Amino acid sequence: MISSEVSEIITNEPAKVQNAEFVESLKKDLEKVKFVDFKFTDLPGMWQHFTVPIAQLTQDSIQAGFGFDGSSIRGFKEISESDMLLIPDMKTCFTDPFSDSTISIIANVKDPETSEFYSRDPRFIAQKAEAYMKSTGIADTAYFGPELEFFIFDSIRYEQKENFGYYFIDSKEGSWNTGSEEENNNTGYKPRFKEGYFPVPPTDSQQNLRNEIVETLSKSGINIECHHHEVGTAGQAEIDMGYAPLIKMADQVMMYKYLIKNTVLKDGKTATFMPKPLFNDNGNGMHVHMSLWKDGKNLMYDKEGYAMLSETAMHYIGGLLKHAPALCAFIAPTTNSYKRLVPGFEAPVNLVYSKRNRSAAVRIPMYSTSEKSKRIEFRTPDPSCNSYLGFSAMLMAGLDGIKNKIHPGDPLDRNTYGLSKEEHAKIRSVPSSLPEAIDALENDHDFLLEGNVFTKDLIETWIEYKRANEIDQIKLRPHPWEYHLYYDI
């Protein structure tokens, strides 16, 4: 049974960051709680967890932490130094809709010998990024509003052995299924390739499922603005969260993925945030809206500036564009990311900025002239990124731009895909592969080390992990299309 002291902590701490309706709902749920599930993030960006009976959650254990084996977590400790602690952040409590009688709490990682928070814990890096921003005096709050896209498929099969390799995706919504005889009573309502944006039902067959997802997200304390079908066929979706400060939003991204995957699983479907699961159609992006505030004032706004942007905002953009190749190692961190970052899709590869223009890497939304809504949108990231590391890296690049007054140059208010070869040659672009992005990070990371936000050890570990576990592994394996190209040579 939960003690009255801990019950008070659980309800009072979330009240600092959540609305009253959520807190009241949490209070009611506590009467049925039997377990506490602690969630934390490994280095690549996947949630990990373990569960304890509610009686184990006491004031002493909240302060002392809960032990676990860090050597079994990707990117953490060696087996000779495996003991680690989880320190629960009580502000993050939410009722877990997929684990009976359970509340979930997001935790930080601490080293038991030094009693210091762990330098490779992604959440701790995000906390340091926020603290560094405040220490500069530039801003006291960084708001982030990511737009995560994902696919909801009916089934997925994949395998790689020494003598074969394949993947097979299927969806009743897939344009390739208009002639399927296996589907009982095929009605033919399938979004055509690249034509999935905003069709009404029955072509949009997942309206009710997305409604269910939104209800689940909202009950867990996530503020949702809207949802809709996305451009891709076969069930591409987007559900937009309201903006929030960096750490809270990074937490919410982890919750968002967890809650969506488990909600669709109840319907026998599968959700993926993989950047490019389908050939020849749009991939999954994560356009990130950002703004800096100080003393309640939006530092990005100037009604006389280009697109109503302030000089501070222009320098923030300058930092993003200057460091974009290195940033890609964190914000587009998979080999698959660079199958999305190609010309011709809504995944801008050109390092320019513009108002309204979705073919620019940085876009300035123009829906409103309100000072509160003025922000920039960075369109290069994708949802495979570790939200704590990705948001922190973007903030550090922007702050570097402000500190060093890096101007982004002139805007490009044209469709970059319609430029001539000569015009294209003058524009910098994102890396064309993960190896290029990792090389860029290796050569340009001093801006991340400011304030000891990222450490040399973290960056070296990230580079080593990506090269050994992803880049080199992909290099070793034949691709099916290589058989088409070369088998008869």
Instruction: Indicate which residues carry an active-site annotation.
Output: 69, 147, 149, 230, 238, 287, 358, 377, 379
Question: Is residue 277 a contact partner of residue 337, using CB atoms and an 8 Å limit?
Answer: no
Q: Which of 393, 473, 399, 408 is nearest to 441 (CA)?
A: 393
Q: How many CA atoms lie within 13 A of 395 on its CB side?
A: 37
Rounded distance, CA 97 to CA 102, Å?
8
Rounded distance, CA 189 to CA 234, Å?
11
The full DSSP string for 160-229 is: E-SS-EEEEEE-TT-GGGTT-SSSTT-----PPTT--SSPPTTTSTTHHHHHHHHHHHHHTT--EEEEEE
The full DSSP string for 446-458 is: HHHHGGGSS-HHH
The full DSSP string for 145-176 is: EEEEEEEEESEEEEEE-SS-EEEEEE-TT-GG
In the numeric block, which tokens belong to residue 395? 């903030």
Rounded distance, CA 73 to CA 41, Å?
9
In the numeric block, which tokens belong to residue 489? 């040579």
Cα–Cα–Cα angle for 210, 222, 289, nearest 5°? Answer: 90
Question: Is residue 238 a contact partner of residue 230, using CB atoms and an 8 Å limit?
Answer: yes
Q: Dihedral (C-alpha) 241, 217, 210, 199: value to the nearest 10 degrees?
A: -10
